[in-house]
Amino acid sequence: MQIIYRNIFEVQWHHDYFLVPGPVMKYPGIYDVRRLVSIWPDDRTQRLMQQYRMVFRNTARGFAVMAEVTEVSPGSYALHIDPEPNDRFSFCWSLNDPLFVNYTNCRVNEPTASLYYLSNRTGTSIGAVAYLNKAVPAFGTAYPGQTSYWLGDTMVMGGKVYEAIEEDVPLVNYAANAAKWKQISSAVVNYINPGDRLLQQGTRFTYTRPNTLPGEWITWQLFDCNNNPVQFTGTTAYRTSMKASEQVAITLDLGWLEQGAYRMVIQQQPAPAQLSFYYYNQLGGPPIAGVCEYFISGASPAFTFCKKDPATQKWIIDTPNKTFMIRFRNRLTHWQYLRQDQSIFDQPPDPRPLTWFYSGYTVPGPMGSTIPMPDPTPARIVPEINPVTHLVKNIYSKIYLAN
């Protein structure tokens, strides 16, 4: 009997920092995602994959998952072992390149410890491209927990993508604040964005707030990624102090939880609070920068990689297999060319993207000539902190000239 393995889905990991200059998206031959990140299935996924006869494979452009299949008709293949509808496959990743955050557009003013959470249930299609992350929001739409845009935030307007280049940018009246934005794409590209960040929760969960109703009973319930209630091992109720001056302080031990995404619902007056997070015990493994999750069910057709045939009851994989994209944007910084005495020789008026290839930036020279200037290295970026808000106001790349 012939054993057949086929890809059931794969992920392509793109980063604009390494793009070859030109009108077509192209990467140099040496581009290899494995130099940037390590990707691996978590413990639960490894057990599932072994049970379903699946194989995880790292590739130069991302990773792929293969499975043993049975050919049910010419060109049509079914998983050899049927999965459960609520199954999910989780893949963690950590950073290999210590400069990744320097040359990547990622949050600099994030108030909580978070990670990237990408899922085929929340992916976004643009044309034939299936982006694994949430859509870059339209102008005027705030990111979760914000009342304005922050430095580095992206938004879509008029079929183009813009990036905030100041510390704080209003959600309204683009015309009056146009100087605070920089166009980074003439077409909609669904870059990884702040909407893909999820609170990273360790074993100790804390919830604090002012005691607005002394003597109030507060209860809580936990739900998993499939919205199933999770049975708590300890108490699920808390009574606030009779003294209004003593704040609400709830502390829970989550060390018994399985790694994954959860939603905590806290029943309180005047309205419930909902807190979403990804639970990961760092004492049990290496630090993680992000997680990609793939669900058997609950995703839109563009992100479903196998479906159950109602006639045969077999789980048929897509042919060709689904390919999902993850695309990071390179960071914008203010370039400062400095003399040896620290005085500024030249500074472009707008921030410029850091790139692996030479950008070709020039300055005017004598007699109408131009002088090619060196590009900055991502190893030397300097944040400017607002002394009032204590947030990052600007990010500079400093290039020191010989004379």
Distance CA 259, CA 225 (A): 11
Distance CA 71, CA 69 (A): 7
pLDDT of amino acid 250: 95
Q: Which residue has the tokens 């060390």?
A: 255
In tens, the pLDDT along 200-256 reads 999 999 999 999 999 999 999 999 999 999 998 878 899 999 999 999 999 999 999
Asked whether 92 and 293 are in contact (CB, 8 A), the reply is no
pLDDT tens digit at each of 403 positions of the chain: 578 999 999 999 999 999 999 888 899 999 999 999 999 999 999 999 999 999 999 999 999 999 999 999 998 999 999 999 999 999 999 999 999 999 999 988 887 889 999 999 999 999 999 999 999 999 999 999 899 999 999 999 999 999 999 999 999 999 999 999 999 999 999 999 999 999 999 999 999 999 999 999 999 999 999 999 999 887 889 999 999 999 999 999 999 999 999 999 999 999 999 999 999 998 877 899 999 999 999 999 999 999 999 999 999 999 999 999 999 999 999 999 999 898 999 999 999 999 999 999 999 999 889 999 999 999 989 999 999 988 899 999 999 998 6
Nearest-5° angle of CA 336, CA 341, CA 342?
30
Indicate the DSSP class of residue 133: S
Indicate the DSSP class of residue 145: T
Rg (Cα) of the chain, in Å, rounded? 25
Q: Which residue has the tokens 């004598």?
A: 366
pLDDT of amino acid 60: 96
Distance CA 65, CA 120 (A): 14
In tens, the pLDDT along 119-135 reads 999 999 999 999 999 99
Go through 264-301 and write b for each residue having 16 or more CB atoms within 10 A of its CB, e for each that does not. bebebeeeeeeeebbbbeeeeeeebbbbbbbbbbbbee
Strand partners, 104: 330
Asked whether 100 and 34 are in contact (CB, 8 A), the reply is no
- Between the CA of residue 346 and those of 51, 352, 362, 375, what are the distances in Å? 61, 13, 10, 13
Class of domain 203-279: mainly beta
**229: Cβ–Cβ under 8 A, 6 or more apart, which residues?**
221, 222, 223
Q: What does the domain layout of the chain look like in residue ranges?
A: 4-103+288-328, 203-279, 332-400
pLDDT of amino acid 249: 95
- Tell me the residue type at 207: Y
Half-sphere exposure of residue 356: CA atoms within 13 angstroms, side-chain side = 15
pLDDT of amino acid 186: 94
* DSSP element (H, E) containing 372: strand 370-372
pLDDT of amino acid 145: 86
Distance CA 212, CA 248 (A): 9
